Amino acid sequence: MFVLKATIVRLLLMSSTWASMEHILCDHLLTNYSRSIRPVRKMTTVTEVYMDPGIYNLVDVNEKQETMTIMLWTPMYWTDEYLIWEPDNFENISEIRIPLSKLWVPDITPFSILTQTDTQPWERNYASIRANGTVFVVFDQVLVVRCLFDIVDFPLDTQNCTIPYGSWGFEIDMVVIKWYNSNLSFNLFKENSEWKLIEYRAREHVSVYHIRNEATKRYSELLYTLVLERKPAYYVFVLLIPSFLIGTLCIIGLFTPFSSTGERQERVTFGLTTLLTMAVILQIVTNEMPKSADGLPLLGEFILIEIVLAFIGISVTVVIMFLHERAMARCHLPPKWLFTLCYLDSYYMLKHRSFNVDASHQCFDNWPSHAPSIRIDNGGSALMKALKATLDGTMNDEANRAVWTELFRRIDIVLLIVFLNANTLILTLRFLLPTF
């Protein structure tokens, strides 16, 4: 028990002595210290500042305003020639922490920011100082950075945002900024629901400024490039797939008969409704994207192509509807090449056709003489002959409608296949192939 009490007393005394010596060391370092002057003993000495900003969290990416909000941890160290001591003279204290507000700090700041917020005020931030004069500090900041977004490949896009760091007041012969790779970004970065961090690289750069009526000034800068890849799942399932399905339904609705007579008025109405739906989706996409001289983004371009494809389908349907109506109104024999093109043989034509022997009802002079018809004796009355002529004309009209309806039905099938293949090909070329 006595040994335990003695040990505790010894530890308390050592702690008190250590704290006292730390106060003495702090007073020794800060006596006659000026935080307003660059801490070098010779003016020709260049202060080298090493830094490696690391992204902790990607708060927001606003493509329309071309801004990015990030939480940043920025470790930085340099050598302060007025904060050097011999550890042997201060009971082997090799490191001490002093409030940052009492020290000289290089005025290095990111240039392309709109707002900067320090989550840890300088009054509460401490710098770690080693005996050789190395000052190490970490800044915790929230930055709203201005970035130029390339949205041509949206939503399969990759964005590069460059953040330049530099000194406002010290030229390259006074302060030089250097990068040390600590892989801090990849170790700290929290997974984002929409963006994936691909690369975070730095490049040392010297900027030359020609100021009017003054000498050319050269400044040391550090260019950090943030490479982000978008996760497109949300836009694929919410916009891309519904747009493709709506376009497919439009094509099927345009070239699928609604009745046995081949009426097409409802098809045109359905196609116009689809056009309105696609226009609303295109408006949603364009409202989220910045106005770019490079044109529409990939998703907007796809929706626009779908609109054009639906427009072409509606136009073709209107033309076919007009031709069908004209063919039904007149007694024109379908040309042989149309039968061949639609794979419709002459047997079908013979099966659905009746002829009137009376010259007044001969719409097709070349029709075979053995075709089925209504026959009566030569001694029949004039009333029966008139009835025969009327029935033959009616049967001819019905057969004509059946032939033309079958021809246009097969034309619809061909157009349905063509438009569906075109729609699938567009999706494949614009979205599926670039991902491989």
Are residues 260 and 367 both part of a single domain?
yes
Neighbours of 229 (CB within 10 A): 14
**Residue 12 reports pLDDT greater than 50:** no
Are residues 424 and 310 both part of a single domain?
yes
Please indicate, yes or no, if residue 263 is contained in any of the structural domains.
yes
Q: Which of 1-10, 51-60, 178-187, 339-348 has the lowest mean pLDDT?
A: 1-10
Please indicate, yes or no, if residue 26 is contained in any of the structural domains.
no
**Residue 219 reports pLDDT greater than 80:** yes
Please indicate, yes or no, if residue 289 is contained in any of the structural domains.
yes
Are residues 347 and 365 both part of a single domain?
yes
**Residue 262 reports pLDDT greater than 60:** no
Are residues 242 and 345 both part of a single domain?
yes
CATH number at residue 75: 2.70.170.10
The torsion region of residue 77 among left (phi > 0), alpha (psi -120 to 50) and beta comes to beta
Domain boundary among 175, 201, 231: 231
Express each pLDDT in 305-363 by its tens digit.
888 898 898 888 888 888 877 776 665 666 666 666 665 555 455 444 443 333 334 44
**Res. 69 pLDDT band, cuts 50 70 90:** very high
Domain boundary among 231, 256, 284: 231
How far is the C-alpha of 50 from the C-alpha of 47, rounded, in Å? Answer: 10
Q: What is the pLDDT of residue 342?
A: 63
Domain that holds residue 45: 33-231
When pLDDT is averaged across residues 189-212 and rounded to a whole number, the result is: 85
Domain boundary among 197, 231, 265: 231
- Mean pLDDT of the chain, nearest integer: 78
When pLDDT is averaged across residues 148-166 and rounded to a whole number, the result is: 89
Are residues 309 and 363 both part of a single domain?
yes
DSSP string, 13-40: HHHHHHHHHHHHHHHHHHTT--TTS-S-
Q: What is the pLDDT of residue 353?
A: 47
- In single-letter form, the type of residue at position 381 comes to S
Tell me how many domains the chain contains.
2
344 or 199, higher pLDDT: 199
Are residues 155 and 260 both part of a single domain?
no
Are residues 425 and 289 both part of a single domain?
yes
Are residues 77 and 57 both part of a single domain?
yes
Are residues 273 and 258 both part of a single domain?
yes
Are residues 213 and 255 both part of a single domain?
no
